[in-house]
Structure 1
Amino acid sequence: MKKTEILNSLRVAAVADALGVPAEMKKRGQYHLLGMTGEGTWSQPMGSWSDDTSMTLCLIQNILEQGTADDLLNKFERYMMFGEWTPRGMTFDVGRTCAHAVRQHAINHVPAVQCGDASENANGNGALMRIAPLAFTLVRQPIDARIRQSIAMTTVTHGHPRAVVGSVIYLEILHELLQGHTLPTALKTVQARVLTVFAAEPVMAQELAAYQRLFASGFGQLPVSAIKTSGYVVDTLEAAVWVALNYQDLRTGLLAAVNLGGDVDTIATVAGSLMSVAHPDQPVPADWWQVTLNHELLDKLMVPFAAEFGDWWAN
């Protein structure tokens, strides 16, 4: 993937987030978005992006700086407490599990990779929503290195094995898409891979059962009524993959994602990353990108990231 395509993918995810923010947690069927709008759930102006993009920017900057997991959590703290990496210098949406991790690190001085809540009720999508850029950095790494980094960058906020497995599945799907494979082929490959990788780790292996519907034959043909859209990590990954399987056109797919109801900003962010990597020839919709807030901050981090890993990959 060229640096222009990496940059496009990062922008698509941010636009998808902003597209979904006004409708976050609204019920399916009670609204219908036709494009970028404002106000809504969080009473934010049009083009505002949420914690999905803010925490993604933290990860991007941490990668560029070759920072540690502790450095990353320090950035999350500055985002949460001081509004850094936000569209207008203010934080308006922080997930409970992510906030818990930040407090564990900042107040209790727990090592970063141990800060993620390991309880079963902490399996939200707060790691999934921000972890996609890692796929670009790991594309040439062997499977063991990819898994190790996927786990480390998840457990800073989400410590339960189910959330970790979700991140691994998502990043491995992106890895296969980056090799030029189709999404249906990627799903088959990743299913076999995670079964092998986690075979010797019973705690992880038993969590694969939560994701079996994702890999089932005919998953993409399920009706929309069968797709759940809560903030639960399994629901989010399923919904995003379902959108990416059913829509080849980026604009149409993103609109479908944000009209599903529920945690649609994150579903659209994840689906946008999948779709933009699967279809790198499709540019971010220009009219939506134009009204997305704070291009200066987005490009300050996204442009050098894309240049570094796009150029590196091309060598």
Structure 2
Amino acid sequence: MKSAQILTVLRTAAVADALGVPAEMKPRGSYQLTGMTGYGSWPQPAGSWSDDTSMTLCLLQNILEAGSDEDLLDKFEHYMMFGEWTPRGITFDVGRTCAHAVRQHAINHVPAQQCGDAAENANGNGALMRIAPLAFVLAKQPVAERFATTKAYTTVTHGHPRAVVGSFIYLELLHELLAGQDLMTALTTVKATLTGLNPATAFAAEVPAYQRLFTGNFQNCQLDDIHTSAYVVDTLEAAVWVALTATDLRSGLLRAVNLGGDVDTIATVAAPLLAMSYPEQTVPAEWWQAMINRPLLDQVMVPFAQRFGD
């Protein structure tokens, strides 16, 4: 993928996050977003992005610096504790499991790969929301290496195998989109890839949690069948459903942020799927122009896109 297209994917995800922030956790049907707004769920002006984008920026910068897992958690700490990587130097909306991992590392000095909570009730979407850029890093790597890297980048905050499998499914879908497949075909390919997981591991045992994605008619689910909590399975299903049922990038993003529930993260996760499905389209200029602190976003996104673009 060309660097300009990678930059579009990254910018689209950040815009999607900011579009959804004012409606985060509002009930479905209680609001209707048509563009970039402010306040609402959080006392933040229009164009404010949340932890989804802040932690993605940390990931991008760490990749550019060839940083370690420990370095990545240091960046997460600087975000959470000091407001770095935020639009206005103010941290808001830090997920419980991510905050736990940062404290484990910063206060208790736990090694990075042991910081992610491995409890079953810690399967939130805090790793899924930031992991999309790895698809570009891993584009030419064999599947075993893609899985190992996905696991490492997930478990620094989310240690349960279900979260790892969710990250892997998502990145594999992006991998197939990068290879030129459409999303429906990508789902079929990824379903086959998952059969290659070692059946003796805890990861293979978690694949059934995502089975609804691979039924062949998931795109025909009705809106009432789409759950929008912060649970990793719900978020991935909602994001994929949005991308499967969208007819263009703009309307897809608006559908995501109007689902109700954890819509900033659902939209952030859906955005790369949409941007890669509609590579000839770009995020609406008025939405990008409304983003706060665009120089900070581009300070990291532009060199990353240049590094990994064709």
Q: TM-score, normalised by structure 1?
A: 0.97
Give the corresponding residue for 2:145: 145
Q: Answer yes or no: is the 8 Å Cα contact 2:22–2:37 preserved in 1.
A: yes
Give the corresponding residue for 1:106: 106
Residue 182 of structure 2 corresponds to residue 197 of structure 1: no
Paired residue type of 2:191: Q
Deviations 1:250-308 (A, max 9, x none): 00000000000000000000101111122211111111001011111000000000001
Give the corresponding residue for 1:29: 29
Distance 1:307 1:2 in 2: 8
Q: What secondary structure is seen at the aligned counterpart in 1 of 2:141?
A: coil
Please state how far the C-alpha of 1:200 moved relative to its aligned partner: 4.0
Distance 1:137 1:248 in 2: 28
Distance 1:305 1:184 in 2: 28
- Kindly report the root-mean-square deviation, in angstroms, between the aligned alpha carbons of the 2 structures: 0.7
Q: Answer yes or no: is the 8 Å Cα contact 2:114–2:156 preserved in 1.
A: yes
Distance 1:122 1:2 in 2: 37
1:260-299 alignment, distance < 5 Å: 260-299=259-298
Paired residue type of 1:157: T
Give the corresponding residue for 1:257: 256
Extract unaligned runs of 5+ from structure 2: none
Deviations 1:196-221 (A, max 9, x none): 123342x1111111000011121001
Give the corresponding residue for 1:83: 83
Paired residue type of 1:215: F
Give the corresponding residue for 1:306: 305
Distance 2:19 2:236 in 1: 18
Q: What secondary structure is seen at the aligned counterpart in 2 of 1:207?
A: helix
Give the corresponding residue for 1:237: 236
Q: What secondary structure is seen at the aligned counterpart in 1 of 2:288?
A: helix
1:85-234 alignment, distance < 5 Å: 85-201=85-201, 203-234=202-233
Runs ≥4 residues deviating over 6 A: none
Distance 2:217 2:135 in 1: 26
Distance 2:57 2:198 in 1: 30
Distance 2:250 2:271 in 1: 9
Give the corresponding residue for 1:3: 3
Paired residue type of 1:71: D
Q: Answer yes or no: is the 8 Å Cα contact 2:23–2:257 preserved in 1.
A: yes
Distance 1:166 1:57 in 2: 21
Give the corresponding residue for 2:17: 17
Q: TM-score, normalised by structure 2?
A: 0.99
Deviations 1:84-103 (A, max 9, x none): 00000010110000000001
Distance 1:142 1:197 in 2: 14
Q: What secondary structure is seen at the aligned counterpart in 1 of 2:196?
A: helix
Q: Answer yes or no: is the 8 Å Cα contact 1:178–1:278 preserved in 2.
A: no
Q: What secondary structure is seen at the aligned counterpart in 2 of 1:41?
A: coil
Extract unaligned runs of 5+ from structure 1: none
Q: Answer yes or no: is the 8 Å Cα contact 2:199–2:205 preserved in 1.
A: no
Please state how far the C-alpha of 1:153 moved relative to its aligned partner: 0.2
Paired residue type of 2:237: E
Paired residue type of 2:35: G
Q: Answer yes or no: is the 8 Å Cα contact 2:138–2:146 preserved in 1.
A: yes
